[in-house]
Amino acid sequence: MHSLRENIIEILLKSRHITKEQLDHALVLQKEKGMPLRRILVDEGVVTEEILLSLFSEQLYIPSLRLAKFRFDPKIIDLIPEQMAKLYNTIPLSRIGNTLTVAMSDPLNIFALDDLGNFTGCNIDIVLSPQDEIAHAIDSQYHREIRDLQNIIDESTLSRDIDSDKNTELLRTDAIELSNTLQDSEKAPIVQLVNIILAQALKRRASDIHVEPEVDCLRIRYRIDGSLHDILKVPKINQNAILARLKIISNLDITENRIPQDGRFKVKTEDREIDFRVSSLPTTFGQKFVLRALDKSNLSVGLDKLGFSEQPASNFKAAVAKPFGMILVTGPTGSGKSTTLYSVLNQLNTLDRNIITIEDPVEYLVEGITQMQVKPDIGLDFASGLRSILRQSPDVIMVGEIRDAETADIAIKAALTGQLVLSTLHTNDAISSITRLIDMGVEPFLVASSVIMLCAQRLARKICLKCRTPIEVSGDFLKKIGFSGKAKFYSAKGCKYCNNTGFYGRVAVLETVLIDDAIREMVIRKKSIDEIRDYAIKNLGMKTLRDDAFLKVKEELTTLDEAIRITTEE
């Protein structure tokens, strides 16, 4: 029997849908990218998926079926395990007697047909369906919680007698419309739907829940290990009730839709208490919500258990042991800066210390620490708040972010007058923090005198240990990227345990440097950042972000691709 590739070539050439030149080019691309020929042809625009389905159906005498509106039976789905369905890109459709009908994208894979027949004990009939539609159906049908959500959505949609045209608009604030929305938001299916969305987010280790109104639906996405994943699309008719429910539990003003709002609420699950920080944003099709899950159990692990490499951990311990000075942690949003600083605060949180924070907003609520949230609308910004904090005789101060010259000046002077100050900046690496402060207008001698440690941080996705696959990497490529030493390399494959992402959890990648007298002298003399960085690497043994990322690869914690993705070439 010919392979599917040989049949594709033969069928396409006979049908004159592709020229010999186009075919040769596609075969070259297939060899370079290692992708199926049919996918290359579709991606390059040579033929469409519809044409391929039509040709195969006609030439191979196999019926075709589009799965977009097909209603799956959960009992039939359970006849084939998810892992097997994904392996052969197939999904069961129906069973009549001892005959099981499945949709496949590669109907000539005789090994798949034999395995399916042996496993189910059924005769296998096949229909042709697009590869992407099968993959989407597998993702949606094999997650039982998604099926439960869909059942709830169906129930809430059928139980409501509301004009769908009205629900495509933003929530109105007149008495009648508001009353209806409040009643809808308290209906059992809506409450249950929101509860399940929250519960599944925690079960899947999501750090954020994105609730995004679109023109014809409400899209739900989870951010898992730093990447967003589509979870669910809710009919537009349920949008207002769901958004109202989120506002109610977050203590937001349900009548206000024109301006952004911030709120929070708590969820208790098993032995954990999760804080959700809620942000709403007015958009074209309704208010978008982002719910950020903050797990306080992550703060009590201490510096020793944060997964830091030996040098960064040692530098942090040395800096935290000092009675005064400034520690700066830099990195983009979502790089774990807050978790690191809160872990440091938690370690310093003893009865003999007065610890005060000023943040925007307060992310974690920690017992024993005085926390203040800035309120710019009443004139309480970082600078004015910090001045007030200094009158409270603090031992340790955390400033959520140094954003302007005034805040920087006050924070640095506090570090010079006996307080340990922790804060964050947005820079690409650790040494660049010096330039950032000087650019804000802080005098170089003040920077040199106050800063005791600089740290840049990123989060790398940890490879799933249950499905990682060993790979070979060429020596030339390793030499090109500056990777030295021996290591076993793995690729992220994906399995049920890691939600088919290939990754499970994240680990911190750090670049730290303790400021010594030589660096202080270089700062005062306004030496370039490159000179300071070269000195830190050669004389202090500073490991760059990429060095630490490569160390995580050698420790088999992440992939080489991930290490390169999150770091820049020095």
- Which residue in 32, 51, 86 sits closest to 499, CA to CA? 86
Could you tell me if residue 566 is left (phi over 0), alpha (psi between -120 and 50 degrees) or otherwise beta?
A: alpha
What is the greatest pairwise CA distance in the chain? 86
One-letter amino acid at 122 equals C
Q: What is the pLDDT of residues 30-59, one digit of tens each?
A: 777 666 676 777 777 777 777 777 777 777
* pLDDT at site 150: 59
CA-to-CA dists, residue 18 to 5, 21, 53, 117, 128, angstroms: 14, 8, 15, 35, 21
* pLDDT at site 143: 62
Does the pLDDT of residue 227 top 80, yes or no?
Answer: yes
Euclidean distance between CA atoms 349 and 359, whole angstroms: 17
Strands 420-425 and 325-330: parallel
Omega before residue 361 within 30° of 0, cis: yes
CA atoms within 13 A on the CB side of 211: 30
Does the pLDDT of residue 184 top 70, yes or no?
Answer: no
pLDDT band at 158 (very low <50, low <70, confident <90, very high): very low
- Which residue in 494, 413, 531 sits closest to 224, CA to CA? 494
pLDDT band at 156 (very low <50, low <70, confident <90, very high): low
Would you say 22 and 46 are in contact if contact means Cβ atoms under 8 Å apart? Answer: yes
Query: What residues have CB less than 8 Å from 357, skipping those under 6 apart?
Result: 345, 369, 370, 371, 372, 397, 398, 399, 400
The residue with greater pLDDT, 305 or 445, is 445
pLDDT band at 409 (very low <50, low <70, confident <90, very high): confident
**In percent, how much of the chain has pLDDT > 70?**
85
* pLDDT at site 167: 36
pLDDT band at 77 (very low <50, low <70, confident <90, very high): confident
Task: Give the angle subtended at the CA of 133 by the CAs of 131 and 138, to the nearest 5°.
Answer: 95
Euclidean distance between CA atoms 456 and 546, whole angstroms: 11
Q: Tokens 């010999």 — which residue?
A: 20
The residue with greater pLDDT, 311 or 184, is 311
* pLDDT at site 304: 63
On average, the pLDDT of the chain sits at 82
* pLDDT at site 170: 34
Per DSSP, the three-state class of 121 is: coil
* pLDDT at site 469: 87
Euclidean distance between CA atoms 24 and 32, whole angstroms: 13
Does the pLDDT of residue 171 top 70, yes or no?
Answer: no
What phi and psi, each to the nearest 5 degrees, are found at residue 484?
A: -120, 160
Does the pLDDT of residue 5 top 60, yes or no?
Answer: no
Would you say 430 and 337 are in contact if contact means Cβ atoms under 8 Å apart? Answer: no
With b for 16 or more beta-carbon neighbours within 10 A and e for fewer, the 368-385 pattern comes to ebebbebeeeeebbbbbb
Could you tell me if residue 214 is left (phi over 0), alpha (psi between -120 and 50 degrees) or otherwise beta?
A: beta
**In percent, how much of the chain has pLDDT > 90?**
26
Element (H, E) at 38: helix 37-43
Would you say 543 and 311 are in contact if contact means Cβ atoms under 8 Å apart? Answer: yes
Would you say 266 and 275 are in contact if contact means Cβ atoms under 8 Å apart? Answer: yes
Does the pLDDT of residue 159 top 70, yes or no?
Answer: no
* pLDDT at site 445: 92
* pLDDT at site 334: 79
The residue with greater pLDDT, 251 or 41, is 251
What are all long-range contacts of 433-440, with beta carbons under 8 Å and residues at least 24 apart? 433/328, 433/330, 434/523, 434/529, 434/532, 435/529, 437/402, 437/408, 437/412, 440/402, 440/404, 440/405, 440/408
Per DSSP, the three-state class of 152 is: helix
Q: What is the pLDDT of residues 514-558, one digit of tens each?
A: 999 999 999 999 899 999 999 999 999 899 999 999 999 999 999
Euclidean distance between CA atoms 90 and 80, whole angstroms: 9
Euclidean distance between CA atoms 340 and 347, whole angstroms: 11
* pLDDT at site 366: 80
Q: How many C-beta atoms lie closer than 10 Å to residue 489's C-beta?
A: 18
- E strand segments, 411-564: 420-425, 451-463, 469-471, 489-491, 503-514
Q: What is the pLDDT of residues 365-406, one digit of tens each?
A: 788 899 898 887 788 888 888 888 888 889 999 988 888 888
Q: What is residue 425's DSSP assignment?
A: E
The residue with greater pLDDT, 364 or 414, is 414
| DSSP tally for the chain: helices H, then strands E | 23, 18
